[in-house]
Chain A
Amino acid sequence: MKRWLYNPVLASSLKTRMRGWRAAAAVTAYLGVMLFIAYIFFQINLQSYMSISSGRSVGLRVYLMLAILQFALILLVTPAQTAGVISSEREMQTLDLLLCTKMSPFSIIIGKLLSSLAFILLLIISSIPLFSLVFLFGGIAPEDIVMLFLFYIITAFAVGSIGIFYSALFKRTVVSTVVSYITIFFLGIVSVILGVYLMSIHYSQIPRPSDYYVPLIFYINPAIGLSDLLFRQAGVTAPNAYYGILAWLFGVGLGSGSPQGWFQSLPLWIANSVVMSGIAILLLCASTWIIRPYKRVGRKS
């Protein structure tokens, strides 16, 4: 392999991560949880839906359930995979040894991130057979699943970068893991509350709104991007589906008005992916800056 493509941290992590029973157990547990919940879903809903709905409708519902479930699991698993990668190097006292090699701090960070993402990717790929259940019923095209998986990877990249950043910032893995989950909670829940609040302020000042207003904070919430993507795949044709529903709370009709700018006219899940990727890149640069040797303070004299 060409030297500039070869990352020793990535190569070593891939080898050790897949060694032993833990990786196999993690994949089994992950798929087990998904299967279990899917089974419960089938048990509760399938017969009633089969009797009154078309196969397409059932397929769509199964797809939406699996998509949201997998998304939640990715949000749950990714911080655990990334929030300790640098802090554990500190705890094992191997970070200095790495930093005094010829590897740059950036390549160390990227190697750590990619090895974690590779594991998430393995989980996503291993769930493909489960998603193939959807094709039994129809209603969802293979390219929809490809787009969904692409969005998963972008989400894992963004959430993984948050974990890496805290891992570089805090010395202890426990602290970085807890703060990572708090941040994910903020992104998932608090950003929606704040966004709705901002919308209520916006529309209270404009009695007859003629534009779509999407609070910027929505762009950092991957759940909003996912819901937009799923709405589109489900056939809801509003330009920004999730926004449309929220706007409904404030009395703005789906068909009324136009987006405020070119960026807001993009499909929300794409804009969301762009913003999340941008933030992830910034966080990776910040992580590199934090661990670079000449900025760190010695622990002992």
Chain B
Amino acid sequence: MLVVRDLVKKYGNFIAVDHLNMEVERGQIFGFIGPNGAGKTTTMKIIATLLAPTSGRVTVDGIDVFKEPIKAREKIGYMPDFFGVYDNLKVMEYLDFYGSAYGVEYRERRRIAEELLELVDLSDKKDAYVDTLSRGMKQRLCLARCLIHNPELLILDEPASGMDPRARAEIKAILKELKRMGKTILISSHILPEMAEICDSVGIIDRGRLVVQGSVEQIMQRITGRIVVRIRVLRDMDRAISLLKEQPMVTGVVEEDQELEVACRGSEEDLWQLLRVLVSSDVPVVSFRMMEGNLEQIFMEVTSDEEMAL
């Protein structure tokens, strides 16, 4: 759906984006992670046709965004990291205005606006003035705004920043619904555990370069060379530990809260082998689960060298 090739953006001598390459598959949620000033917003603005790159190519559904920006804009819904709402406009009028700016016919945009307000749970606020809405409501309205022309790719720059946990949960639920509707989403955020929860894959950008790209699990493996699994056994904890330590793929075993946290190298195939060893040795395994990747840990590992260099 989205292909970025060798993207470079320079401001004088400063390189904001440095030969960035990435791909986002149709229907995926792609998390774009990086410290402040890493080049996230610049990259997103370039994809949203708001900024010209120094060099490189971006295509959205096969459309070159620099050669055919108007055509590309039909496919893209962009939500910047600020609210951007007019005062003196009512919620319905706000959506209607942007719908007309995207060239959506009057009846069609009224219908879509009604549906979107339902999606973002603002139906009862459609006659309220935009500036009377709470921060969370405004953010949801902005999300609805970038959907008014039914785009296939959503570019969301820190949509949950500065919001309370309830509002973040609401945004997260909407994003999951949008994914279910088949939208492709490129999202940047600082709240890493949430990214791990909702993203199919992530890219970590640092100093304009995409340092790592892949699923959270893949990145975890690539960066730290390990998978972490939590195993609960009914009894024979010591025998289980010694059995695990004998396995070549296991790099560490820690007993924690009546469970074993096992670090190991390899693939999911190796995990299956590990489980088979335990079960075939009559260890009463009642729970065996791969841990969600700790994005924060990966993020720190990936960016730490650069930070140290500073």
Contact of B86 among A20, A92, A101 (CB under 8 A): A92
Contact of A93 among B41, B42, B49, B84 (CB under 8 A): B84
Assess whether B284 is interfacial by the CB under 8 Å rule.
no
Do residues A16 and B89 form an inter-chain contact, with CB atoms below 8 A? yes
Hey, what's the 0/1 contact readout for A106-118 against B, CB within 8 Å counting as 1? 0000000000000
Do residues B102 and A19 form an inter-chain contact, with CB atoms below 8 A? no
Interface of chain A: mostly helix, strand, loop or mixed: loop
Tally of chain B residues near chain A (CB < 8 A): 39
Do residues A102 and B84 form an inter-chain contact, with CB atoms below 8 A? no
Question: What residue in chain B is nearest A20 (Cβ atoms)?
Answer: B88
Do residues B101 and A103 form an inter-chain contact, with CB atoms below 8 A? yes
The distance in angstroms between the C-alpha atoms of A100 and B145, with both chains bound, is: 12
Evaluate whether A102 and B70 lie within 8 angstroms (CB atoms) in the complex, with A16-B88, A20-B88 already known. yes
Stretch at the interface among B20-28, B74-82, B173-181, B247-255: B74-82
Interface residues of B in 47-106 (CB under 8 A from A): 48-52, 69-70, 73-74, 76, 78, 80, 82-89, 93, 97-98, 100-103
Assess whether B262 is interfacial by the CB under 8 Å rule.
no
Do residues A301 and B38 form an inter-chain contact, with CB atoms below 8 A? yes
Do residues B84 and A298 form an inter-chain contact, with CB atoms below 8 A? no
Contact of A3 among B87, B98, B103, B145 (CB under 8 A): B103
Do residues A97 and B51 form an inter-chain contact, with CB atoms below 8 A? no
Interface residues of B in 20-46 (CB under 8 A from A): 37-42, 45
Contact of A101 among B38, B84, B101 (CB under 8 A): B101
Assess whether A99 is interfacial by the CB under 8 Å rule.
yes
Do residues B51 and A294 form an inter-chain contact, with CB atoms below 8 A? yes
Question: What residue in chain A is nearest B71 (Cβ atoms)?
Answer: A102
Assess whether A6 is interfacial by the CB under 8 Å rule.
yes
Do residues A96 and B80 form an inter-chain contact, with CB atoms below 8 A? yes
Contact of B89 among A12, A96, A295, A296 (CB under 8 A): A12
Q: Chain A residues near B39 (CB, 8 Å)?
A: 301
Assess whether B272 is interfacial by the CB under 8 Å rule.
no
Do residues B97 and A12 form an inter-chain contact, with CB atoms below 8 A? yes
The distance in angstroms between the C-alpha atoms of A11 and B16, with both chains bound, is: 38
- Distance in angstroms from A209 CB to nearest chain B CB is 55
Do residues A8 and B100 form an inter-chain contact, with CB atoms below 8 A? yes
Do residues A94 and B85 form an inter-chain contact, with CB atoms below 8 A? yes
Contact of B83 among A6, A12, A15, A93 (CB under 8 A): A93
Do residues B101 and A8 form an inter-chain contact, with CB atoms below 8 A? yes
Evaluate whether A293 and B50 lie within 8 angstroms (CB atoms) in the complex, with A19-B88, A94-B86, A102-B74 already known. yes
Evaluate whether A93 and B82 lie within 8 angstroms (CB atoms) in the complex, with A16-B88, A100-B50, A296-B51 already known. yes
Question: What residue in chain A is nearest B38 (Cβ atoms)?
Answer: A301
A11, A94, A98, A295 pick with most chain B CB within 10 angstroms = A94
Do residues B89 and A100 form an inter-chain contact, with CB atoms below 8 A? no
Q: Chain B residues near A296 (CB, 8 Å)?
A: 50-51
Interface residues of B in 223-276 (CB under 8 A from A): none
Interface residues of A in 75-109 (CB under 8 A from B): 92-94, 96-103
Question: What residue in chain A is nearest B208 (Cβ atoms)?
Answer: A301
Q: Chain B residues near A293 (CB, 8 Å)?
A: 49-52, 69
The distance in angstroms between the C-alpha atoms of A101 and B98, with both chains bound, is: 8
Contact of B16 among A8, A16, A93, A301 (CB under 8 A): A301
- Distance in angstroms from A133 CB to nearest chain B CB is 36
Q: Chain A residues near B69 (CB, 8 Å)?
A: 293
Contact of A298 among B41, B76, B97, B102 (CB under 8 A): B41
Interface, chain B (partner A; CB < 8 A): 11, 16-17, 37-42, 45, 48-52, 69-70, 73-74, 76, 78, 80, 82-89, 93, 97-98, 100-103, 145, 208
26 sample A-B contacts, Cβ–Cβ < 8 Å, listed by A number:
A6-B100, A8-B100, A8-B101, A12-B93, A16-B86, A19-B88, A20-B88, A92-B84, A93-B83, A93-B84, A94-B84, A97-B84, A100-B50, A100-B73, A102-B103, A103-B101, A293-B50, A293-B51, A293-B52, A293-B69, A295-B52, A296-B50, A298-B41, A300-B41, A300-B42, A301-B38
Nearest 8 Cβ contacts at the A-B interface = A101-B101, A8-B100, A294-B52, A301-B16, A301-B42, A93-B84, A93-B82, A16-B88
